[in-house]
Amino acid sequence: MLRCGPAEMDRLVAAGLPHEDRSGVRHFDPNDLYNLGMYSNTSTTQPELAFRMLFRFATRPVDDLLRERTWEFQARLECVDCAGEAPWRLEEPDIVRFGGSVTDVTAPAPASGSATYTATVTTTGARTPVLSAELRRLTGEYLAAGYRWHMIPVPMQVDYALVHELGVTSCIAASLLLAARFRDAGYRAEARRGWFCGVVGGALDLPHACVEVEDDDGRLRTIDIAKALLAARLSASTDDFQELCLGSIYNKVIPSTAAGGAPLGYHECGSRTPVHVRADIRSVR
């Protein structure tokens, strides 16, 4: 992941990279390694290469993000501490209100351990920039605050105040904080989770979230705050995409019915360990 040899790993450990020794083998937290690589400025680490590839689209003309696209959507639900056969519930793709559709749904039957949900999802885009000057001011203020985007475990992201106190942010934490600021300013707003499409082979399980807010004209707008922040960091030539993130809809995002801080899937077996949901979303055309 870091393209480091043993000598470089020794130096990183000596400099404070957290690890655990288990029977003489060093174990690292994948989030730590990811963030270290992402901000290493070596241009060779796996996170830097993955993000550059992932955000290549953001430098292209945005018209391609506004057309209709169809995806084979698959979500694998895993109940790691399963207590037996029971029904599953997935916070499903919620795209119809944004002009898309969900067809050929195969919802999982009651089972134990793991299950799969599949559907064909069509997304589209629309230029619907945020109108409210106040919403734009609050969004601009957040983007200018200099929070560093980090890969953070979802349960920690939910504690968005703690995350921001550390000077960092993430998709879910950013959306929860911005939604709270919008509400403080008198707007109806909430963070919502979803999926970011086109993540090659599911190599990067990037939790996606954005803010849904009722604008001055009474219409719902989405603000993809983390993608705007990441695009600005990754390339200077992403102004059009960054503007698209502020109210418009684009075809690489599938919103779900899950609230910002909530899980994407449940298993009613009684286990207290959260269900792990991993999506694999492939472009059809």
Q: Tell me which residues touch Zn ion (CB under 5 A).
A: 79, 82, 267, 269, 271
Shortest distance (Å) from residue 87 CB to Zn ion: 10
Nearest CB to Zn ion, comparing residues 79 and 254? 79
Shortest distance (Å) from residue 280 CB to Zn ion: 21
Spatial separation of the C-alpha atoms in residues 276 and 79, rounded to whole Å: 6
Give start and end residues of each alpha helix (H) in 83-159: 133-144, 154-157
The values of phi and psi at residue 78, to 5°, are: -130, 125
Nearest CB to Zn ion, comparing residues 234 and 275? 275
Nearest CB to Zn ion, comparing residues 87 and 99? 87
Give start and end residues of each alpha helix (H) in 167-261: 171-184, 225-234, 239-244
Spatial separation of the C-alpha atoms in residues 260 and 210, rounded to whole Å: 8
Shortest distance (Å) from residue 205 CB to Zn ion: 20
Nearest CB to Zn ion, comparing residues 90 and 229? 90
Shortest distance (Å) from residue 277 CB to Zn ion: 13
> Under a CB-based contact definition with an 8 Å cutoff, are residues 120 and 73 in contact?
yes
> Under a CB-based contact definition with an 8 Å cutoff, are residues 92 and 142 in contact?
no
Nearest CB to Zn ion, comparing residues 82 and 245? 82
Shortest distance (Å) from residue 148 CB to Zn ion: 36
Shortest distance (Å) from residue 135 CB to Zn ion: 41
Nearest CB to Zn ion, comparing residues 257 and 271? 271
Nearest CB to Zn ion, comparing residues 100 and 265? 265
Q: How far is CA 97 from CA 139, 172, 191, 255, 281, in A?
A: 23, 21, 16, 10, 20
Shortest distance (Å) from residue 42 CB to Zn ion: 42
> Under a CB-based contact definition with an 8 Å cutoff, are residues 246 and 129 in contact?
yes
The values of phi and psi at residue 4, to 5°, are: -110, 145
Q: Which residues contact 203 (CB under 8 A, 6 or more apart)?
A: 50
> Under a CB-based contact definition with an 8 Å cutoff, are residues 265 and 181 in contact?
no
